[in-house]
């Protein structure tokens, strides 16, 4: 069995789709899974051993068509993004069956058959896995299979202090409306550091302005890791965390994939649909004092 998956971006969405590959391999260990992804997020898919081949997808339509046709024939092609770029990839590979995530836009519905989510599939991860279920693959619950890159693991050892609880904090988000008030992040960071934890802020250089606003409000300086990790290094770093705090953003979903305790700060999006998978109860409050108490509780449980 050969399956082609098109999920090109973004980081958190790719993370949420990885259980599709794991469900396929769990049912058919000999299956070959080929995944098309934007080069920026290739390192995340490469961290999933259930994907046999990771294909860096070109932006040029001509190059994309040529690459798709060179990949050979598949039993199924899955569009897990529902945009023209992912639909175009699926349209141009040779596959006996072409299925897509139900929310299809930009004409992608012309290139694959949308799979309506099961009535019980509220979380977006379960809705992605419904596409695999439509192939006849049983999957009662979404599961991840991640493996940290050894070279990346070696590098992140120099970034963290394992003698203290490691709290990874992502104060950024793709949309400004998804971001928590910098004062709230500062309050929680200070409180955790007063209890002996170390807070490590992550993100890209695009998040620098927001991080500086947080740092100005802090009494105890957090550790700045913005822009200091590749995607593979970020995956390895998060695997070492005792707690992750962040909004509806990539690192939150990677932490959930590792099974790391998470607090989701959901200011705009619905937590029941996009919270850290399986951790809905820790994503219901945006009150900084309640978040602080939840962080204390989760760290105590993790380290008891």
Query: Could you read off the pLDDT of 142-166 as tens digits, one per residue?
Result: 999 999 999 999 999 999 999 999 9
Asked if 299 and 156 sit in the same domain, the reply is yes
Domain count, the chain: 2
d(CA 291, CA 285) in angstroms, rounded, equals 7
225-248 tens-digit pLDDT: 999 999 999 999 999 999 999 998
d(CA 257, CA 25) in angstroms, rounded, equals 17
Q: Is residue 144 part of a domain?
A: no
pLDDT at 173 over 80: no
d(CA 47, CA 15) in angstroms, rounded, equals 10
DSSP-based three-state secondary structure for 62: helix
Asked if 10 and 66 sit in the same domain, the reply is yes
Q: Mean pLDDT over all residues of the chain?
A: 96
pLDDT at 177 over 90: no
Residue 98 tokens, joined: 């072409």
Q: Which helix (H) or strand (E) holds 271?
A: helix 271-274
Asked if 67 and 157 sit in the same domain, the reply is no
Asked if 40 and 114 sit in the same domain, the reply is yes
pLDDT at 178 over 90: no
Q: Which positions ≥6 away from 80 have C-beta within 8 Å?
A: 5, 6, 7, 17, 20, 86, 100, 101, 128, 131
Comparing C-alpha atoms, which of 180, 173, 235, 184 is closest to residue 206? 173
Asked if 104 and 181 sit in the same domain, the reply is no
Instruction: For tokens 């957090």, name the residue.
Output: 222
d(CA 265, CA 181) in angstroms, rounded, equals 10
pTM: 0.96
With a pLDDT cut of 70, the percent of the chain lying above it is 99
Asked if 41 and 115 sit in the same domain, the reply is yes
Residue-number span of the structural domain to which 278 is assigned: 151-303
Last residue of a domain, one of 78, 106, 133: 133
| 79-85 mean pLDDT | 98
Phi, psi of 99 (to 5 degrees): -120, 155
Asked if 285 and 160 sit in the same domain, the reply is yes
Q: Is residue 73 part of a domain?
A: yes
Comparing C-alpha atoms, which of 178, 2, 186, 6 is closest to residue 89? 6
Identify whether the C-beta of residue 240 lies closer than 8 Å to the C-beta of residue 156: yes
| 108-127 mean pLDDT | 97
Q: Is residue 22 part of a domain?
A: yes
Instruction: For tokens 């219901």, name the residue.
Output: 284
């Amino acid at each position: 069995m050969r399956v082609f998956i098109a999920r090109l971006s973004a980081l958190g969405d790719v993370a949420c789709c990885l259980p599709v590959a794991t469900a396929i391999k769990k049912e058919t260990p000999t299956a070959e899974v080929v995944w098309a992804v934007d080069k920026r997020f290739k390192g995340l898919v490469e961290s999933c051993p259930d994907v046999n081949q990771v294909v860096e997808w070109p932006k040029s339509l001509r190059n994309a068509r040529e690459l798709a046709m060179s990949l050979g024939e598949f039993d199924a092609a899955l569009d897990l993004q529902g945009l023209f770029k992912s639909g175009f990839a699926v349209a141009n590979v040779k596959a006996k069956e072409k299925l897509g995530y139900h929310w299809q836009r930009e004409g992608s519905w012309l290139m694959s058959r949308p799979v309506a989510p099961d009535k019980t599939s509220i979380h977006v991860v379960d809705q992605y896995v419904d596409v695999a279920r439509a192939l006849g693959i049983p999957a009662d619950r979404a599961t991840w299979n991640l493996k940290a890159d050894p070279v990346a693991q070696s590098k992140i050892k120099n970034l963290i202090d394992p003698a203290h609880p490691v709290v990874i904090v992502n104060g950024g988000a793709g949309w400004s409306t998804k971001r928590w008030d910098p004062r709230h992040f500062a309050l929680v960071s200070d409180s955790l550091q007063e209890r002996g934890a170390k807070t490590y802020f992550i993100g890209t250089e695009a998040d620098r302005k927001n991080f500086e606003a947080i740092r100005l409000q802090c009494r105890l300086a957090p550790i700045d890791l913005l822009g200091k990790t590749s995607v593979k290094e970020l995956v390895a770093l998060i695997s070492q965390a005792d707690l992750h705090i962040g909004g509806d953003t990539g690192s939150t979903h990677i932490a959930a994939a590792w099974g790391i305790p998470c607090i989701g700060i959901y200011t705009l999006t619905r937590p029941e649909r996009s919270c850290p998978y399986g951790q809905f109860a820790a994503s219901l409050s945006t009150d900084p004092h309640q978040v602080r108490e939840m962080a204390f509780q989760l760290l105590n449980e993790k380290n008891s």
